[in-house]
Amino acid sequence: MKSKKPECTLTQKEVIAYAIAFGAKNVASHILCKRLEVLNTQQKEK
């Protein structure tokens, strides 16, 4: 049994929903990385 769905079976709404979800995750992780960098540099300066 294959659990993998071919992408062509997704509706446009689903594709958009996935794009938004992944985009939000990428943006959030990017912001977290930047915040960690800032915190690290602030601690080093002290």
Cβ contacts of 12-16, under 8 Å, gap ≥ 24? none
Instruction: Judge whether 30 and 38 are in contact, CB under 8 Å.
Output: no
Q: For position 8, what pLDDT does the model report?
A: 61
pTM of the prediction?
A: 0.42
What is the tens place of the pLDDT at every residue in 1-24? 556 655 567 788 988 888 888 888
At CA 40, angle to CA 36 and CA 41, rounded to 5? 120
Instruction: Judge whether 17 and 9 are in contact, CB under 8 Å.
Output: no
